[in-house]
């Protein structure tokens, strides 16, 4: 029997949303530290969210999302906010991943040839995250994947620890997981009332669909 897929709720900006996600069964939470994002939080906000999770977080891990920020900046924010993982969007090298240690989620945003672009990923990353490519946005586009691309991912990433992002929402999560066979999913805009503010109704619906699927 296949394990329950891991769930990452990304773009958290409020402690109440973080607590709800953790209580519903989220395995990972994402805090965005990219200044260009409408979901960006300050280091102080990130530290407060992590602190207020307290013991209620259980085994839920908190990842910081970074876009083309220096390794030194990523390290500074990770340590100051008390993050468990860092999620890297952009041009980071194998030595950058090695310097940051075991807790790196490396993001891949394939334009065409998925297998070719996966060949450039770093073996030492804690996990991969495959997201939709957009020339203007680093994530949170809300656009779902085509069926053929989900099947392609299933074949290309078999046996790897990877998260699927891109337009995942309650009404398509079961189909998305079935076709992609992803280790986990990353959900952001699909459970939002507005950018950075999660909808309790949509989050509950997401976890119910995963449980019933």
Residue 128: give its domain's CATH number: 3.20.20.70
Tally of CB atoms within 10 A around 48:
16
Which residue ranges of the chain lie beneath pLDDT 70? Answer: 1-2, 111-122, 133-143
Residue 72 lies inside a defined structural domain of this protein: yes
CA 132 to chain centroid, in Å, comes to: 12
pTM score: 0.91
In this predicted structure, what is the pLDDT of residue 117?
A: 63
Distance, CA of 134 to CA of 61 (rounded, Å)? 27
Among the listed residues 187, 102, 89, 179, the one whose alpha carbon sits nearest the alpha carbon of residue 138 = 89
Express each pLDDT in 55-114 by its tens digit. Answer: 888 899 999 999 999 999 999 999 999 999 999 998 888 899 889 988 999 998 776 666
Give the whole-angstrom CA distance, residue 187 versus residue 73: 25
What are the Cα distances from residue 29, in Å, to 20, 34, 96, 140, 142? 11, 15, 23, 14, 18
Residue 1 lies in a domain: no
Residue 115 in domain? yes
What's the number of domains the chain is made of? 1
pLDDT at 139: 52
The pLDDT of residue 152: 87
Domain residues for 121?
Answer: 6-212
State how far the Cα of 62 lies from the Cα of 180, in Å rounded to an integer.
24
Query: Is residue 132 situated within a structural domain?
Result: yes
Sign of CA dihedral 165, 142, 135, 76: negative
């Amino acid at each position: 029997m296949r394990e329950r897929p891991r769930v990452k709720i990304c773009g958290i900006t409020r402690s109440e949303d973080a607590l709800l996600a953790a209580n519903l069964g989220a395995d990972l939470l994402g805090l965005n530290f990219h200044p260009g994002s409408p979901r960006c939080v300050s280091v102080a906000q990130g530290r407060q969210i992590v602190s207020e999770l307290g013991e209620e977080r259980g085994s839920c891990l908190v990842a910081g999302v970074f876009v083309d920020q220096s390794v030194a900046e990523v390290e500074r924010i990770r340590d100051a906010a008390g993050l468990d993982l860092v999620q890297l969007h952009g041009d980071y090298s194998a030595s950058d991943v090695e310097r940051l240690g075991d807790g790196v989620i490396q993001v891949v945003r394939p334009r065409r040839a998925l297998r070719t672009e996966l060949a450039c990923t770093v073996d030492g990353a804690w996990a991969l995250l495959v997201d939709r490519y957009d020339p203007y946005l680093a994530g949170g586009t809300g656009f779902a994947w085509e069926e053929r691309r989900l099947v392609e991912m299933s074949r290309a990433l078999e046996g790897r620890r990877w998260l699927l992002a891109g337009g995942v929402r309650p009404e398509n999560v079961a189909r998305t997981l079935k076709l992609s066979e992803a280790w986990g999913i990353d959900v952001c805009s699909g459970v939002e009332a507005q950018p950075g503010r999660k909808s309790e109704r949509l989050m509950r619906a997401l976890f119910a669909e995963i449980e019933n699927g």
